[in-house]
Amino acid sequence: MRSSELLPEVDLLLIRGDAKRAEVVLARLLRIETDPRMLGAGYMLRARARLVSTRIDSALEDLRMAVEQDASLNGQPEYLELLGDCYLARYELVQMGFADRADTAAALETYERIEAEFPDYENLGWVQYQHARLLMTQNRPADALHLLELSLLSPALAVNHTSYCYERLGFLHFYENRDLGRALGFLNKAIDTYPTGEPRMWLAQVYTLRGRVLRDMMNLSAALSSAEMAVSIASQQSAQNRLSLADAAFSAAEIAAQITGRERDVIGYVQQFTQASVKPTGIDVTWSRAHEMLGDAYWRNGQGQPALAAYLAALQYNPYHPWELSLYYRVARCYYAQHDYAKAIAAVERMLATAEKDGEIISDYRVYHLAANAYYAHRNYAMAAQMYQSAISLAPQETTAVSEMIQFLQMARAHVANS
């Protein structure tokens, strides 16, 4: 087969997302071809294939080789677009904290050049979409919104371009503008316009985001349905999409945790989250929050021992948890339910010491009531009496527990007097 016939075949494979087979065909073409223009086109196509498979440095090397073979490519919008996409992808793929802003600067330069010099470019809409995504990394939401709106009106070759634009518009209106109604509208459009036959994995992130919008609108039933759809889509995909499943499962757990009677769902979704995620070796606030939700669900489900383990894990993953005091109380409550009064007392004492060190005042009578009961069961009647007194002084007088606490206070004082 001649090179002129191989190139359209490769282009079709890339449109279908089959980068692996495309590279096989290209390897044959680059091995037999001698025409510099054909070689330049071949290297351009291989750069596209390698961009799809996230081998960005190799893609950039292919672009260098393409221009070396055919210098005229350097000023063409197709070349500039691919170059910009490679730089943006390399910035997004590197580990947090090691990203090179030179990549975004290079991508920005190429996108702006295309927009200025090639206003009739057949893929201008995609360039504007990528440009908008880049501006989002630079915390320029208003400029990104403007470009996304322009992108929807511009020509684009990608069949999913419109859906992608709607999803980013929904994201910006949710997180930046806090316009929940518009965010939901755009996300619904993203789902409705997504082409049949395209990989469904992308829809998982849209349904996850849509669930969060509906949660903030306090439409919890619809929010959970959307999150469950995201979990369903993500769980049917290959192992390489574990991050989408983890995000969807975590979101579903957060929503289900706000609905009475959905404790088993919370447990199941948190378990899916931990199975799909890489277990952190140090502090991780997301894993801490997941185990906190897991502990609450187990507790409400009458499972004290797994609840305790989950709460302790939550503190382990985030020793600086913003609700650290509340977690200590929940840990103490679990120990008390297991009749381990010494550990219940230790947890409350640590809670009170932490509050004192931070200059906080614990005014919830239930903390002192729990401590008093634990001290009483542990036969430390003097401390029990002190804690009962604190609990009684803080409890609303109409609380039914007040009369019981007064009775136990008197009994504790009697024990102290007789000792």
Q: Where are the alpha helices (DSSP H) in 55-175?
A: 56-69, 77-93, 101-117, 124-137, 141-152, 161-175
Q: Is-same-fold flag (162-258; 279-359)?
A: yes
Q: Are 131 and 111 in contact (CB under 8 A)?
A: yes
| pLDDT, tens digit, 9 for 90 and up, residues 365-385 | 999 999 999 999 999 999 999
Nearby residues of 159 by Cβ (< 8 Å), 6 or more positions away: 195, 198
Q: What is the pLDDT of residues 197-249, one digit of tens each?
A: 888 999 999 999 999 999 999 999 999 999 999 999 999 865 557 889 999 99
Task: Return the H-helix or E-strand segment holding 385.
Answer: helix 381-394
Rounded distance, CA 22 to CA 288, Å? 43
Q: Calculate Rg over the CA atoms of the chain.
A: 30
The CATH class given to the 279-359 domain equals mainly alpha
* Token code pair at residue 158: 């990608």
- Domain extents for the chain? 162-258, 279-359, 363-419
Angle between helix axes 124-137 and 77-93 (nearest 10 degrees) is 30
Top-level class of domain 162-258: mainly alpha
| Residues of the chain with confidence (pLDDT) below 50 | 1, 96
Assign 29 to helix, strand or coil. Answer: helix
Q: What angle do CA 94, 96, 100 make, to 5 degrees?
A: 55
pLDDT digit string, tens, across residues 146-167: 999 999 999 999 899 999 999 9
Query: Is there a contact between 388 and 405 (Cβ–Cβ < 8 Å)?
Result: yes
53: tokens are 């498979």
- Retrieve residue 84's tokens: 């910009």
Asked whether 42 and 30 are in contact (CB, 8 A), the reply is yes
**Considering the entire predicted model, what is its pTM?**
0.86
CA distance 406 to 398: 13
How many Cβ atoms from other residues are within 10 Å of residue 397's Cβ?
A: 6
